[in-house]
Amino acid sequence: MDAIITAGGIPQPGDPLYAYSNGNSKALIDVAGKPMVQWILDALGDSKKVDNVIVIGLSAKSGLTCKKPLHYVSNQGRMLANIVTGVNKALELNKKNEYVLIVSSDIPSLKADMVDWLIKTAMETRDDIYYGVCPQAVMEARFPTSKRTYTKLKDMHICGADVNIIHVNQVTEHLDTWEALIGNRKSPLRSAAVIGWDTLFQLFTRQLTLQDMVKRASERIGVKGRAIIWDHAEPCMDVDKPHQLELMREDMEHQKKQAAKKSAAKTKAKKK
């Protein structure tokens, strides 16, 4: 499966991350000695199930690297247009592509085994879209100070993942609805309103379960959707605010130190 990284966002004055980006792409903000998006490229590069990686919104001048073939596409100005262009690039690389992985550039703690698990789990069925969610308990156990926004359902409280899978036919169908959903992706209530006011009311009164939401959304949009429940928080831990950036910097720095210790221990063991 080919992976599309959405990296076109540039924080503007007034954006919480503007002071950290220096007028450049959010994806290039430093996290533990690397551009934030480089951590995602490392994960995709080590994945056993990713073929090509397509980066939207950056160029080869950014100096990024990946173990998999790396392709760049210019920013189209809007999230949906970027995804459409990325899917078209994936079809150009391989016209037999059926599904693509859509990955945000601001989830630096993503790991290759998580990518492989998602692809393997999703491809057990033949749906149009696979949307990952993380239970609040899982997120707060891993990142207790993340302060994520949760959708409060009847059976669980969840936040959305930033790595998902879509069928390539989704870029030519339901574009108006996708545009509205993407525009409201940070607000569970506004997203529910796009699906229908009855859904909004039932969500607000916590009458809906996760499967109820999936069914309503699928029927409203006219797609066959499936929710993927993560038992890892990393694919759902994005960086939107300064405290989240500092949290990820600290976490990734800790991971680097742990990896260095393991590497040193292996080297010492070999010498013996």
Name the residue ranges covered by the structural domains of the chain: 2-260
Q: What is the DSSP letter of 234?
A: G
The residue length of the chain stands at 272
- Tell me the fold of 2-260: Spore Coat Polysaccharide Biosynthesis Protein SpsA; Chain A (3.90.550)
- CA 55, 58, 61, 65: dihedral to nearest 10 degrees? -30
CB 52 within 8 A of CB 72: no
Name the phi and psi angles at 184, rounded to 5. -110, 20
CB 161 within 8 A of CB 235: yes
Query: 243: Cβ–Cβ under 8 A, 6 or more apart, which residues?
Result: 145, 147
Return d(Cα 249, Cα 8) in angstroms, integer: 21
Return d(Cα 271, Cα 123) in angstroms, integer: 43
pLDDT digits (tens, 9 = 90+) for 173-226: 656 655 655 554 455 545 555 455 454 445 444 667 788 777 877 777 777 888
Q: Which two tokens stand for residue 194?
A: 């796009």
pLDDT digits (tens, 9 = 90+) for 46-101: 999 999 999 999 999 999 999 999 999 999 887 778 888 999 999 999 999 999 99
pTM, rounded to two decimals: 0.86
